[in-house]
Structure 1
Amino acid sequence: MIAEIQRQGSGGTARFERHLKHPVDSVWAYLTENDKLASWFPELRVDSLREGGVILFDMQNGTYETMTILDMVLHAVLEYTWDKDKVRFELSPEQDGTRLVLIETISEWTDHTPRDLAGWHVCLDVIEALLDGRTIESRKDRWNIWYKQYVEAGERARG
């Protein structure tokens, strides 16, 4: 399901929600353990998992972007800077698994924003597939499908 998008001023928010049939500890591991993190977002690496800690983004040119962890509650909340934006993961146990909510706070909506949102959508698909023991044949094909939908959703949210 597509993220819920709200546009406010020049920015807004995108809220993704997934219900995963796996325990919170397993989902948390994919967000915070570097070996598992690399399987769905190979450019990211947790350097220091604590509030005020650091997540590194490998720019693939020998440099790293430093992202600061703004909020961290073990097995429940992980929020960090994402350039000028913020990304927040919230996990909560459910009867048959975990509710995962990803909220991106967008400081300025640009032509690149739908690309990021399609990327987060596919990343969540990949996390779910990995937890389920499945593989996704083509992340790029999925991204292309979702990108078009996020362009349209962003336009609708603008009104």
Structure 2
Amino acid sequence: MIAKLEKEKNVLTAIYKRFLRHSPADVWAYLTDNNKLQQWFPELEIQALKNGGEIRFDFGDGNFERMEITEMIPQKVLAFTWDKNLVRFELATDNSGCMLVFKEYLHEITEHTAKDLAGWHVCLDVIEALLDGRSVGDRTAIWQTCYPTYQQLLQDAQS
């Protein structure tokens, strides 16, 4: 499901919503347990899971970027800095599963923004597949399919 771009808190925000047939605790584990986190985003590693804590992004060349956890409520909210932007995962119990809402607050839009948005789309697909016990398939092909859509969404939002 493609994200929607909306103005939220006077900032352009990408909002992704996914209903997952799993408990918030199971989904939370994929967001915060490094062994599970790295199955869908191998460059990320949580250093300290707390408000003001740290997540590291490993560029794979010996360089790391420190991202601050700006809000953490166990099994409900995980928000952290993402370069000049902010990302936020929100979980809520929903009948036979969990509603996952992911937001990226786009404080700075660059040539790379559409790539990030397509990347988050793939990450959410992978989380869902892992939770369901399905194989992920070709992540690059999924990304290539949705990237032009995110380019167009950003272009439309900025016109």
TM-score range, shorter chain: over 0.9
Residue deviations 1:59-86, cap 9 Å, x none? 1111211000000001000000011110
Residue deviations 1:10-48, cap 9 Å, x none? x62100110000000000000000000010000000100
The normalised TM-score by structure 2 is 0.95
Q: Give unmatched runs, 5+ long, in structure 1.
A: none
User: 2: CA distance between counterparts of 1:13 and 1:63?
Assistant: 28
- Percent of residue pairs identical: 48
User: 2: CA distance between counterparts of 1:7 and 1:108?
Assistant: 13
Aligned to 2:145: 145
Q: Considering only aligned residues, what root-mean-square deviation do their CA atoms show, in Å?
A: 1.4
User: 2: CA distance between counterparts of 1:7 and 1:25?
Assistant: 30
Aligned to 1:77: 77
The normalised TM-score by structure 1 is 0.95
User: 2: CA distance between counterparts of 1:7 and 1:93?
Assistant: 26
Aligned to 1:89: 89
User: 2: CA distance between counterparts of 1:113 and 1:53?
Assistant: 25
Measured after TM superposition, the shift of residue 6 of structure 1 is 2.7
CA separation of 1:144 and 1:7: change in aligned 2, threshold 3 A: farther
Secondary structure (helix, strand or coil) at the match of 2:134 reads: coil
Aligned to 1:45: 45
User: 2: CA distance between counterparts of 1:78 and 1:136?
Assistant: 24
User: 1: CA distance between counterparts of 2:60 and 2:140?
Assistant: 18
Count of residue pairs brought into register by the alignment: 158
Residue deviations 1:97-138, cap 9 Å, x none? 000011101112122110000000000000000000001220
Aligned to 2:156: 156
CA contact (8 A) 1:12 1:108 kept: no
Secondary structure (helix, strand or coil) at the match of 2:128 reads: helix
